[in-house]
Amino acid sequence: MPLMPKRVKFRKSQRGSRSGESQRGNTISFGEYGMQSLGRAWVQNFQIESARVALTRHVKRKGKVWIRIFPDKPVSKKPAETRMGKGKGAPEQWVAIVKPGTILFEMEGVPESIAREAMRRAAAKFPIKTRFISRDSMKA
């Protein structure tokens, strides 16, 4: 079951702007360690899910993991070899808008070395650069 909203007010949305830094969701709120984005992208629902699987498999389902992003933006696409016009295409996939500074995942209940390696494996699933941060490093 892919990550997507149960229902939305509008079926199709405009592309919007990806400029600027993350204004919210840019501090560790729940866990001890986090994965912070350094770039900007539309992260697709299957990328979030595959990163979550990589994360939980490495820690052998110990500790607790929070997913801090959710794909709530529909991206539409017209079929291949279709002529111009005739309206906007059907919603094809769901994406989460990620800006620099956004916390993608948080984790607690495991040693830092294991958390660091788990986040490294999960980061390989994303189309952007990320960095490992801890609650201690944010205070400094």
Q: What is the pLDDT of residues 33-50, one digit of tens each?
A: 999 999 999 999 999 999
Q: Is residue 121 part of a domain?
A: yes
Q: What is the pLDDT of residue 76?
A: 94
Q: Is residue 95 part of a domain?
A: yes
> Does 122 score more than 70 pLDDT?
yes
Q: What is the pLDDT of residue 140?
A: 58
Report the number of distinct structural domains present in the chain: 1
Q: Is residue 6 part of a domain?
A: no
Residue 23 to residues 62, 75, 99, 101: CA-CA distances in angstroms? 31, 23, 9, 8
Q: Which domain holds residue 132?
A: 33-76+90-139
pLDDT (tens digit per residue) in 87-110: 999 999 999 999 999 999 999 999
Mean per-residue pLDDT, 62-67: 93
Q: Residue 42 and residue 55: Cα distance in Å, rounded?
A: 20
β-sheet bridge partners, residue 76 = 91
Residue 126 to residues 1, 45, 84, 103: CA-CA distances in angstroms? 19, 11, 32, 13
> Does 59 score more than 80 pLDDT?
yes
Q: What is the pLDDT of residue 73?
A: 95
> pTM of the full predicted structure?
0.91
The pair of three-digit structure tokens given for residue 116, joined into one six-digit string:
């660091």
Q: How does the average pLDDT of the chain come out, rounded?
A: 93
Mean per-residue pLDDT, 104-124: 95
Residues contacting residue 97 through CB under 8 Å, at least 6 positions apart: 16, 18, 42, 73
3-state secondary structure of 138: helix
Q: Residue 134 in contact with residue 110, Cβ under 8 Å?
A: no
Say which CATH number the domain at 123 has: 3.90.1170.10
The pair of three-digit structure tokens given for residue 71, joined into one six-digit string:
């794909």
Q: Is residue 53 part of a domain?
A: yes
Q: What is the pLDDT of residue 137?
A: 79
Task: Kindly report the three-state secondary structure assignment for every residue of 11-80.
Answer: CCCCCCCCCCCCCCCCCCCCCCEEEEECCCEEEEHHHHHHHHHHHHHHCCCCCEEEECCCCCEEEEECCC
